[in-house]
Amino acid sequence: MTGLGKLADRETDAALGGAFAKGSTAHTHPADDIALSDDEKHPRALSDSKTKKPKDKDIKPDAVTLDIQKRSEKYQRGTPAKQKGKEKARSKTAQAKLTHARNQRDAAVLEAARSEALLTEESGFMEAEHMERTYKVTQKDLASHVDISSAAKIFDLSLPDFGPYSLSYTPNGRHMLIGGRKGHIACMNWRSGKLGCELHLRETVRDVCWLHNDQLFAVAQKKHAFIYDHTGAEVHCLQKHIEPTALGFLPYHFLLASTGMTGRLVYQDITEGKVVGEHKPGYGPTHVLEVSPYNAVVHMGHANGVVTLWSPQQSLPLAKMLCHKGPVQAMAIDSTGKHVATSGLDGRVKVWDIRMFRSLHEYTTLRPAQSLDISQRGLLAAGWGPNVTVWKDALTTQATDPYMRRQLPGSTISDLKFVPYDDVLGYGHSAGISSMVVPGAGEPNFDAFVANPFETRKQRQESEVKSLLDKLAPDTVQLDPMFIGRIDPRSYSQRQHNRLVDARDEYSKNKADGKYVDNNVKNKMKGRNSTAKRFNRKRQSNVVDLKKVLEMEKLEREMRETDTKRRKVPEQEQGALSKFYAERRNE
């Protein structure tokens, strides 16, 4: 150690020694102490007695907390099972797992509610003043009052040689796919105007559909359904889809559903290539098929006005609704899966509550609507004849006047679709493709984990891999998607008791129906169909067990007694010595 270090240590020791010395001299003189009261000697007891900590129940939540609690209600998924007392779990490990899962669920709901504070975009509708009407505002008027990027979304593509056209948008609303009835196929980034591919199949095209992203799409052609990639190369020919007229895709199950002139509903897994379901409703050819975004149940509209709901793994429909007196022409399902809009040849557009299978209200069009669609914000659009009509708040209430309207003289609307996450409605007609701006139609805030309109190539690849890893099984498609992971609140003994009661009731019912033959009542038969011979025929001939041996010995003994009774007894065996002859015969 250096000299400066030794000097510093000495000074530190001297200072500490002086401090200890002062402390010791202060305690050695009690006269110098200051007289303290009892409260001053115990300041902690004084603070506890004067200031009480408020309980959690007494604290009133502020405005921010109340707002978060209100927002968190819509993020709740199901209701937790009710548990009482010590019956929560059989072990501490199981109880810890339940508590951890409950805490994770509550934390996820809270984070989802708090994240809404970052959603700065708000949806807005077009409002009219005084005696004005919103449906009288033309697209030309809107283009002069909106920004340049929004005005560029109003366009018309003149394609009169290959129409009428059907169209489809990717889940993020970035790419558009169009298909002409005479074989013209094209996909493009409609916002930037970049063409992806263009095909002339020289064959009838009835419907087009994007698959899980903008890399693959399906086309319903004259004889079969085909899958193409974004460059226009043919990838697969789906020969199980015979003469398809409508296509639908289940994004979380990777299933392609189709129906056609044969009237069959076919589900095919595009990742494995196998058919996971094929059903025949029995109502003839159909061209109306829609997939619910809520529970992935396929809705089919038939020529007799019936709408059927289907699941891949069930041979019978989940439900049936009689919606119209004539053929069903079009159908649309909202994003929540609660409302369904249908149109028929009777000229009516009906809105149904799918939870109660009840009609809420209806609208009338001068001509039957050939296409329907519901936007993310609940706007209902109908294409009938050369007209496109949009109703606002048409699902929950009866709208008296339309929200917007557009007419294309000399054309017939064949298909229309709202663009996800944008205030744009695209529709195909006999003269090409058109697009119009509908304020308030799209969701202003998007979730990048679900659909990202600005995703890069790397993000698209990562989302594709993640969606393949999270792929759901076909048997998870049900009317109530919350049935997965539901806990049975009954105890083990109660479940066993209910199972025994059900088995006893089933046995009693089958016995009353005559499925079980009573031994005391059955007819005793001899010969070829006797009970013993029928039983022996059922048994395997190469299996020998104790029961079969005893039955064979009994059968031989009965046969010997029968032969003895039937044969004639000689005269020398009769008389007093007959019992000795009988014993010899039995030997």
What pLDDT, in 10s, does the model give residues 61-109? 777 777 787 778 777 766 655 554 444 567 888 888 888 888 888 888 8
Q: How far apart are CA 437 and CA 425, in angstroms?
A: 6
pLDDT at 523: 52
pLDDT at 275: 94
- Listed in order, strand segments (DSSP E) in 393-549 are 404-407, 413-418, 424-429, 432-437
Pick the more confident residue, 533 or 285.
285
DSSP state for residue 245 in the 8-state scheme: E
Mean pLDDT score across all residues of the chain:
81
Q: How far apart are CA 506 and CA 140, in angstroms?
A: 71
pLDDT at 170: 95
Quickly state the pLDDT bin for 505 (edges 50, 70, 90). Answer: confident
pLDDT at 132: 87
Could you identify the residue written with the tokens 């020529």?
303
pLDDT at 515: 66
Cis check for the bond before 164: say yes or no (omega within 30 of 0). yes
Q: How far apart are CA 145 and CA 425, in angstroms?
A: 18
Pick the more confident residue, 140 or 5.
140
Which parts of 116-234 fold into alpha helices (H)?
A: 139-143, 148-151
What is the average per-residue pLDDT within 445-472?
91
Q: What is the Cα gyration radius of the chain?
A: 40
pLDDT at 541: 52
Q: Which of 17-21, 47-51, 423-427 is modeled with the greatest confidence?
A: 423-427
pLDDT at 301: 95
DSSP state for residue 286 in the 8-state scheme: -
Q: How far apart are CA 180 and CA 433, in angstroms?
A: 10
For 95, half-sphere exposure in the C-beta direction (CA atoms, 13 angstrom radius) is 10
What tokens appear for 556 in the block?
Answer: 């031989």
171 residue type, one letter: P
Pick the more confident residue, 520 or 126.
126
Q: How far apart are CA 466 and CA 471, in angstroms?
A: 9
Flag whether pLDDT at 463 surpasses 80.
Answer: yes
Quickly state the pLDDT bin for 427 (edges 50, 70, 90). Answer: very high
pLDDT at 485: 67
Which parts of 116-246 fold into alpha helices (H)?
A: 139-143, 148-151
Quickly state the pLDDT bin for 113 (edges 50, 70, 90). Answer: confident
What is the average per-residue pLDDT within 192-211?
93
pLDDT at 130: 80
What is the spatial order of strands in the sheet that 244-250 belongs to?
A: 244-250, 255-260, 265-269, 275-279
Q: What does the CA dihedral 474, 479, 485, 491 come to, rounded to 10 degrees? A: -130
What tokens appear for 326 in the block?
Answer: 């004539």
- Share of residues in the chain with pLDDT > 90 (%): 48
What is the average per-residue pLDDT within 109-135?
80
Quickly state the pLDDT bin for 317 (edges 50, 70, 90). Answer: very high
pLDDT at 55: 54
What is the spatial order of strands in the sheet that 225-229 belongs to?
A: 205-210, 216-221, 225-229, 234-238
Q: How far apart are CA 325 and CA 34, in angstroms?
A: 101
Q: What's the angle, vertex CA 19, arms to CA 15 and CA 20, rounded to 5?
A: 120
Q: How far apart are CA 373 and CA 541, in angstroms?
A: 68
What is the average per-residue pLDDT within 554-571?
75
pLDDT at 493: 84
pLDDT at 219: 96
Flag whether pLDDT at 34 surpasses 60.
Answer: no
pLDDT at 501: 87
Flag whether pLDDT at 401 surpasses 70.
Answer: yes
**Pair 267, 472: CB distance under 8 Å:** no
pTM beyond 0.75: the answer is no
What is the average per-residue pLDDT within 366-381?
93
pLDDT at 44: 46
- Share of residues in the chain with pLDDT > 70 (%): 77
Quickly state the pLDDT bin for 38 (edges 50, 70, 90). Answer: very low
Flag whether pLDDT at 350 surpasses 70.
Answer: yes
- Listed in order, strand segments (DSSP E) in 280-338 are 288-291, 298-301, 306-310, 319-322, 328-333
Segment (H or E) for 26 = helix 3-27
| Category of 222 on φ-ψ map: left (φ > 0), alpha (ψ -120 to 50) or beta | alpha
> Which pLDDT tens digit goes with each residue over 430-447?
999 999 999 999 888 888
DSSP state for residue 25 in the 8-state scheme: H
Residue 460, Cβ density class (10 Å: 0-12 exposed, 13-18 middle, ≥19 buried): middle
Beta bridge partner(s), residue 364: 348
Q: How far apart are CA 227 and CA 204, in angstroms?
A: 15
Q: How far apart are CA 342 and CA 348, in angstroms?
A: 8
> Which pLDDT tens digit goes with each residue over 266-316?
999 999 999 999 999 999 999 999 999 999 999 999 999 999 999 999 989
Q: Which of 241-245, 335-339, 579-583 is modeled with the greatest confidence?
A: 241-245
- Lowest average pLDDT, out of 246-250, 376-380, 577-581, goes to 577-581
Flag whether pLDDT at 327 surpasses 90.
Answer: yes
Q: Which of 333, 388, 282 is nearest to 342 (CA)?
A: 333
